[in-house]
Structures are given as structure tokens and as C-alpha cells.
């Protein structure tokens, strides 16, 4: 069993990197990729735990990127976390995140919700690498929304308090950096971008044209119908298939480690690309 997309407290997951690995081992996963948002800071701890639990850890990252003024997520698998170009990209994303976090807090403050920066950083255990998930938890704790779903309807999305568009690197640059760091580039959760089928086709075709290697076909919250749709797209655009739950913690029961539909057997897989490369 494999799971090539997961988060720890290094970004917006609820478990430490070591705990994610331990849980993966308990769930019967043989090969896990830790892919925190725009950071590799959890990988050392995860590596140690993987050695202890006897599972294979693929060093990964989930890079936030811009495509046609939308945010898309590109998972890098098998990256060298100490690669200089990757380090620079991570530093730039961290700066984007801290600036955006301050702007989000300011916007919430204007909407009558003070203290969001402090609140979100307390939840995150620091000011670096704050995500909208941390603000979401702060808003729920303050009674401003009852769950994540409601948060992302009322706040931090276009036209709502706390909405701050982030300036991420472009899609092509994200792919290039992942390749420079020796990894393969995987389009994360293609069904989750809220775009028309036509635009999704253009997104994947652009991704392939910039050198993208694979796309997630089996996703955490996905069903058989989605898997079929994504499998067809992977074939059409000549992308290898990946499988990742996008695990963040136990509070999202639909995205648990290894809880994934099997990939159709005819696909070349992202894992296959890694062991060849
Ligand atoms: P950021 O990268 O800081 O913009 O934060 C994005 C994170 O917020 C995602 O990785 C999810 O964990 C979470 N998120 C974004 N949109 C939603 C949503 N509609 N429902 C639940 N969580 C969301
Ligand atoms: Mn997340
Ligand atoms: Mn994502
Ligand atoms: Mn993710």
C-alpha cells in the first residue's frame, strides 16, 4: 500500500512528522510521501521515524503555484530537500505566507475579528509557514464558523473578509524547481480546483507542456467515478498516475492515510518514475 500525499505539523497537519509516519506504518502503508505545503522542515524527523518503523519515506513537498490567476498545488516527490534552488523557492514562499498572514489578520480585524495573527500563530506553534487552515481553526475556536466548510464559505475566499490573493510562483517555475531538486512533479488533486472540464484539460495540457510528470488519479476524498475521470485524463495527457490521501489529521475522516482506491493497473505510476529516475 502506498500514500504519496500527506501533511504534518510542519505545515497544516495535526500530527508531528514522526506521528504521521508511525500512523502510516500502523495503517499498513509501505511507502509514504510527506508533502507539507511549501516546506521540507518535517522531513528529517519523518526520515528517522521511517527507519524505525521500517517503511519507505519519499521526501516530498506540495508547492503552491499560480496558473491563470488560480492557485494550483504541485506535489514534488523524491526531491533533495537541501537543493539550493528549492531552498530559495521555499524561502520566497515563506515570505509570501508571512505577508499574507498579516494581511489576512488585518482584513479580519477590519471585519471586527481582532487577534487573528496571534491566534493563528499560537495554533501553528510559530509564525512561520502559516496557512489558511490555521486561521480557519482560529475562526472556528472563536465561534465565527462551525466547521472548515463554513469557514471557507464565509472567510478568506474572494469577496469575503480575510481574502488576500497570494502571489505564488508560476506553474512552470514550480515544475522546473522540482526537477532541479531531482524530483518528479505531480499535479495534486486535479478534481478539486473548481474549474470546468475544458479548463481542467487546459491546465493539465499546460502542466504536461512545462514538463509535468504525473497527476493524482486516486485522491483522498475521491470516489470510483472521479477515479475513472482522472484516469482518462492521465491517459489523454500522457501523465503517470499517483495516489495520495492528502492526509491532514483524524478530523478529516474522508482523507485518512492509505484510504485510497487502487490505481487502474494499466497506468505508469509516479512511484515507477521515481525508482527508474
Ligand atoms: P493556504 O495554502 O494557506 O492557502 O491554505 C490552503 C489550505 O487550507 C489547504 O491545504 C486546505 O488544508 C485548507 N483549505 C482550503 N480550502 C478549503 C476548503 N474549502 N475546505 C477545507 N479546507 C480548505
Ligand atoms: Mn492543507
Ligand atoms: Mn493541496
Ligand atoms: Mn495537500
Measured in angstroms, how far is the CA atom of residue 132 from the centroid of ligand 1? 6
Q: Is the pLDDT of residue 117 over 80?
A: yes
State in Å: Cα 112 to ligand 4 middle.
30
pLDDT at site 20: 98
Position 277 confidence tier, pLDDT thresholds 50, 70, 90: very low
Q: What is the pLDDT of residues 212-265, one digit of tens each?
A: 999 999 999 899 999 999 999 999 999 999 999 999 999 888 899 999 999 999
Over the range 172-197, which residues count as b (16 or more CB within 10 Å of their CB) and which as e? bbbbbbbbebebbbbbbbbbbbebee
83 Cβ closer than 6 Å to some ligand 1 atom: no
- Report how far residue 239's alpha carbon sits from residue 217's, in angstroms, rounded to the nearest whole number: 10
Ligand lying closest to the C-alpha of residue 13: 2
Ligand (nearest to CA of 246): 4
pLDDT (0 to 100) of residue 276: 53
CA pair distance 228, 21, nearest whole angstrom: 29
pLDDT digits (tens, 9 = 90+) for 260-274: 999 999 999 999 999
The whole-number average pLDDT for the span 140-164 is 97
Amino acid at each position: 500500500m502506498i500514500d504519496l500525499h500527506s501533511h504534518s505539523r510542519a505545515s497544516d497537519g495535526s500530527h508531528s512528522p514522526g506521528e504521521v509516519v508511525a500512523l502510516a506504518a500502523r495503517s499498513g502503508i509501505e511507502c509514504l510521501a510527506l508533502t507539507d505545503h511549501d516546506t521540507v522542515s518535517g522531513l528529517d524527523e519523518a526520515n528517522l521515524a521511517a527507519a524505525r518503523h521500517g517503511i519507505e519515506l519519499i521526501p516530498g513537498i506540495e508547492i503552491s503555484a499560480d496558473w491563470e490567476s488560480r492557485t494550483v498545488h504541485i506535489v514534488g516527490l523524491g526531491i533533495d530537500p537541501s537543493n539550493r534552488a528549492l531552498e530559495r523557492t521555499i524561502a520566497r514562499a515563506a515570505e509570501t505566507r508571512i505577508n499574507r498572514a498579516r494581511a489576512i489578520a488585518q482584513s479580519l480585524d477590519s471585519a471586527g475579528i481582532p487577534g487573528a495573527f496571534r491566534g493563528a500563530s499560537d495554533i501553528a506553534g510559530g509564525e512561520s509557514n502559516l496557512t489558511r487552515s490555521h486561521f480557519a481553526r482560529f475562526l472556528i475556536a472563536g465561534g465565527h464558523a462551525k466547521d472548515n466548510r463554513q469557514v471557507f464559505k464565509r472567510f478568506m475566499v474572494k469577496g469575503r473578509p480575510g481574502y488576500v490573493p497570494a502571489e505564488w510562483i508560476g506553474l512552470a517555475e514550480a515544475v522546473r524547481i522540482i526537477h532541479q531538486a531531482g524530483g518528479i512533479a505531480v499535479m495534486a488533486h486535479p478534481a478539486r480546483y473548481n474549474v470546468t472540464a475544458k479548463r481542467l484539460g487546459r491546465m493539465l495540457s499546460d502542466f504536461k507542456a512545462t514538463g509535468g510528470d504525473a497527476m493524482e488519479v486516486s485522491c483522498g476524498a475521491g470516489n470510483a467515478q472521479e477515479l475513472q475521470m482522472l484516469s482518462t485524463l492521465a491517459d489523454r495527457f500522457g501523465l503517470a498516475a499517483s495516489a495520495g490521501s492528502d492526509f491532514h489529521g483524524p478530523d478529516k475522516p474522508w482523507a485518512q492515510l492509505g484510504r485510497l482506491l487502487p490505481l487502474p493497473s494499466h497506468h505508469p505510476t509516479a512511484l515507477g518514475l521515481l525508482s527508474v529516475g
